[in-house]
Structure 1
Amino acid sequence: MDIDSAPTQRSPMTKVSDVIHSFVPSKQFKPPSPYTSYTSIDFDDSGEFAICARTDDTIQLYNTRAGAHAKELKSQKYGNALARFTHNSSNILYASTKVDHGIRYLCMHDNSFIRYFKGHEDRVTSLALSPSNDQFVSASLDNTVKLWDCRSPNPQGQLSFTSAYLTAYDPSATVIAIASPISQTVCLYDLKNYDKPPFANFDLAELEDRFAASHGQRDAEGWTGLEFSNNGKYLLVTTNGAGHYVLDAYEGSLVHFLHRPSVSRMTPYAAPGDPLPPSESSSPSYTQADAAFSPDGRYVIGGNGSQAGMLVWDMADKGMKNVLTPKHELGSQRALGVVAYNPRYNLIVSAEKEVTLWIPDLD
């Protein structure tokens, strides 16, 4: 099937388990140059629109309902990474990659900046928006995590860590998780008492040692993402190595190691804290994770590392000694750099050199 001429109609949000095995590429958007790559994907609250940050200092807006490219936004002077929708579908946040380390708040309707958030002294590695309001949290290589409100240019709070590169809100917007790959820990904070010690501290050092020996896992500096499942039960720590960790969000115990069985050395993309490629390299620097939860929290979808295809892990499976192999492998012409599952519809967006929309093949 020619994916550029395939149907783009969205499937309604039927039971994910009924369609998860049947996703196929439906529409593909090729960039103007083969030397650019996409580094992040995000959906607005309605699920109708997706934004993708690209290494040519542009942000691309797609209408997933129509299966069409909608707009290109340029940030040539400051660069861009980690583009995120606010709860207003016309407004986005993104981190600068040039000149300064500020976070920019942009109205896409007239391409004008609403506000700048300055204070980080090194590259921003994580942006997470609150599920309930326009507060957000950022992490940086400057060893700080800052709490912000879109209505004010000044941070509402700050925490200092050793190499805290990743952040996430839980679905209730009352807890924030902060991951430090160097210390191999994930800390949970009560958002109302963020200046107090964390109420939970998950040490993953033993897990890292165990799976490094048995599965060729890269070291702890290969963590690429942090995400709560929508049901609040699980916490996903993604890596650019041979697998990902699914933790019990309450106890921190390992639920599954999601093994990518094809090769041990997985992706060429740098995780926060990894050395960046040379500035003249066409490889992307830090990217969003290439794995994500399905909206029902039962599945994790993700790239197959350096191999083409998308993997699906079913957390209802028991696995062997907490190691879970993929339940399904979905066809793709390329390796997938970043992946996101639409929170409202059975639609997946993946990106590397191209942006691809995936829908269930109901036939």
Structure 2
Amino acid sequence: MSIDELNDEMVRSMSVGAAFTDYLGKINSLDFHRKDDLLVTASEDDSIRLYDIANAKLLKTTYHKKHGADRICFTHHPSCVICSSRHSLESKEFLRYLSMYDNRCLRYFKGHSERIVSLCMSPVNDSFMSGSLDHSVRIWDLRVNACQGLLRLRGRPTVAFDQQGLVFAVAMEGGAIKLFDSRSYDKGPFDTFFVGGDTAEVCDIKFSNDGKSMLLTTTNNNIYVLDAYGGDKRCGFSMESSPNSTIEATFTPDGQYVLSGSGDGTLHAWSINTRSEVACWNSYIGVVSCLKWAPRRAMFAAASTSLALWIPNPSAS
């Protein structure tokens, strides 16, 4: 089904179309390719797995016992990914540029001294960003090993590009969100937002496709939708907490709905325009730690120690 047809009824009809339960550990992160029907996951069992989402088929599994697999995102090439390391390494090889086609490491990126907690690829060029527990954000280029830019800050950093690649956001201590011009970030942020009254660290940022909204998820399981231009809060939702786990929320491609997991093992969907809950589902896989909507399909992926692909089921509505 076309994502142009999304409405309350279709969102309510979403149900599990395929599930993959052969993981031996929690899935740490997942990402959809922007233009191809592909999904990649990184898991605590040290595996990286590539899926064809049009046919719900596992295409390839590679294991990375030395480095592990933590944060992951596609590059523009459908068989290449950037992956952060989960295991503490004296070599400081915390970032790798990998080819899934022939299971090769194309490049290491050294600079961070602690685990990477946020990773994102520019939608328009070969730049990508990483945020680390060493209190730094680094800007890289796939074509060179050396770091291209460095931001030092307080707290746990979270990074995200907007969908046009013109702006990036960095969240830091005290709930502050700073916006930078991608072409002149060395001049400092051009705007700073605060989520009023909530000083919890932001663990995830996403921009809507039209660039008008920002979606924040905090470490205390609060979700906020902000106006991306003025920083005003459009709506906010609180989820149940769960020990040792944070949740992820996602926009639908049209930017009209927000989906999120919860600490009680349920999934929720809200309409941003009406600020009302549209649907609540049992996740069937426990507390969902990773959640993303496919960029070009009426489908979302939810993951814990299993991966579930959700699609519309007209009979369910």
Q: Identify the TM-score tier after normalising by the shorter chain.
A: over 0.9
2:38 aligned with 1:29 = no
Question: Equivalent residue for 2:28?
Answer: 39
**2:187 aligns to what SS in structure 1?**
coil
Identify the range of structure 1 (82-91 vs 157-166) with the bigger mean alpha-carbon deviation. Answer: 157-166
- Counterpart of 2:252 (choices 274, 294, 307) is 294
Identify the range of structure 1 (85-94 vs 58-67) with the bigger mean alpha-carbon deviation. Answer: 58-67
- Partner amino acid, structure 1, of 2:84: A
Question: Equivalent residue for 2:6?
Answer: 16
**C-alpha distance 104-242 of structure 1, shift in aligned 2 (>3 A):** closer
**2:254 aligns to what SS in structure 1?**
coil
Question: Equivalent residue for 1:285?
Answer: none
TM-score, normalization by structure 2: 0.93
- Counterpart of 1:306 (choices 243, 263, 277) is 263
**2:231 aligns to what SS in structure 1?**
coil
- In 2, Cα distance between the equivalents of 1:235 and 1:49? 24
2:138 aligned with 1:146 = yes
- Partner amino acid, structure 2, of 1:82: R
- Partner amino acid, structure 2, of 1:225: D
Structural mapping, 1:173-184, within 5 Å: 173-180=165-172, 182-184=173-175
1:280-333: CA deviation from partner (whole Å, max 9, x where unpaired): xxxxxxxxx521111011111111x2223310010010xxxxxx4522113432
Deviation at 1:269, TM superposition (A): 3.7
CA contact (8 A) 1:38 1:52 kept: yes
**C-alpha distance 54-32 of structure 1, shift in aligned 2 (>3 A):** closer
Deviation at 1:164, TM superposition (A): 4.6
- In 1, Cα distance between the equivalents of 2:182 and 2:219? 29
- In 2, Cα distance between the equivalents of 1:107 and 1:70? 14
- Segments of structure 2 that go 5 or more residues without pairing to the other structure are none
Deviation at 1:267, TM superposition (A): 2.7
TM-score, normalization by structure 1: 0.81
Deviation at 1:47, TM superposition (A): 4.2
Structural mapping, 1:28-107, within 5 Å: 28-33=19-24, 36-98=25-87, 99=89, 100-107=92-99
1:220-247: CA deviation from partner (whole Å, max 9, x where unpaired): 13x3201111111111110243530111
CA contact (8 A) 2:122 2:165 kept: yes
CA contact (8 A) 2:118 2:158 kept: yes
Question: Equivalent residue for 2:243?
Answer: 268
Question: Equivalent residue for 1:171?
Answer: 163
Question: Equivalent residue for 1:200?
Answer: 191
CA contact (8 A) 2:120 2:130 kept: yes
- In 2, Cα distance between the equivalents of 1:270 and 1:155? 31
- In 1, Cα distance between the equivalents of 2:76 and 2:105? 16
- Partner amino acid, structure 2, of 1:23: M
Question: Equivalent residue for 1:283?
Answer: none
**C-alpha distance 244-148 of structure 1, shift in aligned 2 (>3 A):** same
CA root-mean-square deviation? 1.7
CA contact (8 A) 1:177 1:188 kept: yes
Percent same amino acid among aligned pairs? 32
CA contact (8 A) 2:31 2:73 kept: yes
CA contact (8 A) 1:47 1:343 kept: no
Question: Equivalent residue for 2:236?
Answer: 257
1:10-32: CA deviation from partner (whole Å, max 9, x where unpaired): x3334221521210001111125
Question: Equivalent residue for 2:209?
Answer: 230
- In 2, Cα distance between the equivalents of 1:242 and 1:184? 13
CA contact (8 A) 1:258 1:325 kept: no
**C-alpha distance 297-169 of structure 1, shift in aligned 2 (>3 A):** same
